[in-house]
Structures are given as C-alpha cells and as structure tokens.
Amino acid sequence: MRTTNAFLLLPLVLLAASASASAQKIILTNDDGWATAQIRAQNDALKALGFDVILSAPAENQSGTGSSSAPPQPRTDPCEFESCPAGSGATGFDSSDPRLNFVNSFPVDAARFGIQTLAPEIFGSKPDFVVSGPNVGTNLGPGITGSGTVGAASEGSLEGIPSVAFSGASTSQESFTNLVSSPTSTSIRAAQLYAALTAQFTRTLLAPTSRPVLPPNITLNVNFAPISSKCSAPGDFKFILTRLAADSDATDVRTCGSSHLPNEIEVAAIQVITGKCIATVSVISAVDQKDVDASSQAFVLDRMGSSFFSCLLDVVL
C-alpha cells in the first residue's frame, strides 16, 4: 500500500476498486497538472464512454519538461489552483475521488506512478492504455522532444502500455472549477470538445480485439486544430495521417496516392489558411520521439480502419 497524505480515505479506495473488471483500464496523465480543466474534462469524457479511468498527473504545471524524471517529493507549497494544501505528501488524491491523483514530480513520473502503483492497487492489474493530455496548446514537429505530454505518453509505451499524446490549440491553463463556473468560455468549450475527440479516438483505437494495440516502443502524437463556429463538434473534424518532420527522402506508408505523408507543421499552416477542422496523427518512436518506418505507420492506418483517416487534399479543396 502506498503512503499518502490526508487525502487518503480507505473506504473510497475500496469503492473505486470495485469498478467493473470488464471495462478497458486507462491511466490518464498530462504535463499541465492534475487540476486543469482539460484533464478533468477528459476524465469525464472517457468515463462517459465506459472506460475505467485513473488520473495520475503532476501536482503543478510541468509543461516543457520532456522526459525529465525525479523521485516525487513532499509539497512545500499548495498544488496548482490551491488544489492540495501546502505540506501535502509526495503523492495524494482528492478526498472525494481516490482516482484523481497528483504526483509531485514530472509528467514521466506521474505516468509511471499510475502504471506501476495505482493500476495494481485500484485495477488489480496493469492498465490497458495510457492517455496523455489533451495538452494546453499544440505539440508539433521535431520540437516535441521537450513536451512533457509526449514524454508521459512515451513512458507508457516504454513500459509496454500502448499510449497516445493529445494536444489542442484553443485552450488555456485554468482550473477544473471553470468547467462549472465558465462553461461557455472559448477555452472551456475547447476543453470539452477536445476531450470528446480524444475519447472517441481512444475508443476507435482500442475497439479491435487484436493485440498489440500499437507496435512496441511506438506512440502517437495527435493535435487538434483551433475551435471555431465551423469546428465546434467532434463530427466536424477530419483526421489526417502525418509525420513529424519534412523529409523528401523518406518513404512513408502509401496512402492517398502517395508514399510521402504531409508533416504536422505543414498541415497546421494549411489549417490556418483554410480554417478547416483538422486533427493530425503522427506515428512516432517512444524512444527518441522521431518519425518511424512505413510499416509502423501502416499498422496504425490498418488498425484505425480505411474510413477513419481523410486525405489532406480532399479536406482542403
């Protein structure tokens, strides 16, 4: 049994442990912190689709920390948005829900704690999947090595748990309390929309019974375009299979009549010009957060199904 602070309430832990064993088990993490509107909206959206979810995220904003790691330490200050008191332990959870956990360290450590400690304790087994995000702001191109959201997803993959990193353009760093107090703000509407898109993507990826869900040491980097009057519902968005970096010499999976996938930054620029509702999906290495070979891309293309992805030209023309 892990050591916790005053947030620990044994009856709630036992109640949480009684959740249906048949539901697919997900560790939800991020780099923006456990008390942001984005991760709490995501928690709700995943549960609404029947997933069994444990939230394990940093105690405060750890954006830009990449794959940094350090042992969790007791808090000297309150958690972000005063969501835990000063003097709290290195880990802890909300007194109203033991599945809402903070880890006072980096995103990688929060994901690891969820996988190695919380999942066996609450699920009684390893998780089936790791959802990282949606991040506040996009993570595009080769620079994603500095993303804690991508780092946390990579940690899941490296521990043998399939994972995806999600990011969205139209959100800001704000408390989960704004989900109730400011439900019509642009950022909160975006948080809810991206949460719905992420939950639906996760359901599609996990729906086939075949395993593995993803090849070993592979994760996905998914980015959602800004919301607008035309991009306000999950059905408005089209998913485009992309690569991180432009590389004219690379041979990618053949799709949409080409063996060269568009790169994320290129597609984002086209989205800005056209205003189209686009979500990019890149298949990347969890080891170095770089592009992978065509066979790994083909695995994802086949698993998601022939109708899931759209061709960029069809979307923008």
* Chain segment 279-292, per-residue pLDDT in tens: 999 999 999 999 99
- Asked if residue 128 belongs to a domain, the reply is yes
Mean pLDDT of the chain: 94
**Would you say residue 300 lies in a domain?**
yes
CA distances to 41, 179, 269, 278 from 57, rounded to whole Å, are: 14, 18, 31, 27
1 assigned to some structural domain: no
For position 215, what pLDDT does the model report? Answer: 98
**How far apart are the C-alpha atoms of 223 and 136, rounded to whole Å?**
11
What is the C-alpha separation between 101 and 233, in angstroms, rounded?
29
**Would you give the distance in Å from CA 10 to the centre of its chain?**
29
Of the pLDDT bands very low, low, confident and very high (cuts 50, 70, 90), residue 306 is: confident
Sign of the Cα torsion 244, 278, 317, 272 reads: negative
Q: Is residue 242 part of a domain?
A: yes
| Peptide bond between residue 226 and the one before it cis (omega within 30 degrees of 0) | no
CA distances from 205 to 7, 56, 171, 256 (A): 34, 21, 24, 20
User: What is the mean predicted confidence (pLDDT) over 208-225?
Assistant: 98
Please indicate, yes or no, if residue 159 is contained in any of the structural domains.
Answer: yes
Please give the model's pTM, rounded to 2 decimal places: 0.93
CATH number of the domain that 261 lies in?
A: 3.40.1210.10
- Summarize pLDDT for 54-81 with one digit per residue, the tens: 999 999 999 999 999 999 999 999 999 9
Each residue of 36-48: pLDDT tens digit? 999 999 999 999 9
Token digits for 234? 């999950």
pLDDT in tens, 293-302: 999 999 999 9
Per-residue pLDDT, 20: 42
Q: What pLDDT digit, counting tens, does each position of 154-197 carry?
A: 999 999 999 999 999 998 999 999 999 999 999 999 999 999 99
pLDDT at 4 exceeding the cut of 90? no
Lookup: tokens for 240: 């485009």
Q: How many Cβ atoms from other residues are within 10 Å of residue 173's Cβ?
A: 16
- DSSP type of residue 23: S
Domain residues for 307? 10-316
Q: What is the pLDDT of residue 67?
A: 98
At 2 the pLDDT is 41
DSSP, residue by residue, 105-116: S-HHHHHHHIII
Give the residue-averaged pLDDT of 220-229. 98
Taking a C-beta distance cutoff of 8 angstroms, is the pair 189, 228 a contact? no
pLDDT band at 16, cuts 50/70/90?
very low
Kindly state whether residue 3 falls inside one of the protein's structural domains. no
Note whether residue 132 is domain-resident.
Answer: yes
Distance CA 302, CA 317 (A): 25
Count how many domains the chain has: 1
- Inside any domain, residue 2: no
Structure tokens, 310: 């759209």
| Region label for 64, one of left (φ > 0), alpha (ψ between -120 and 50) or beta (otherwise) | left
Q: What is the pLDDT of residue 1?
A: 34
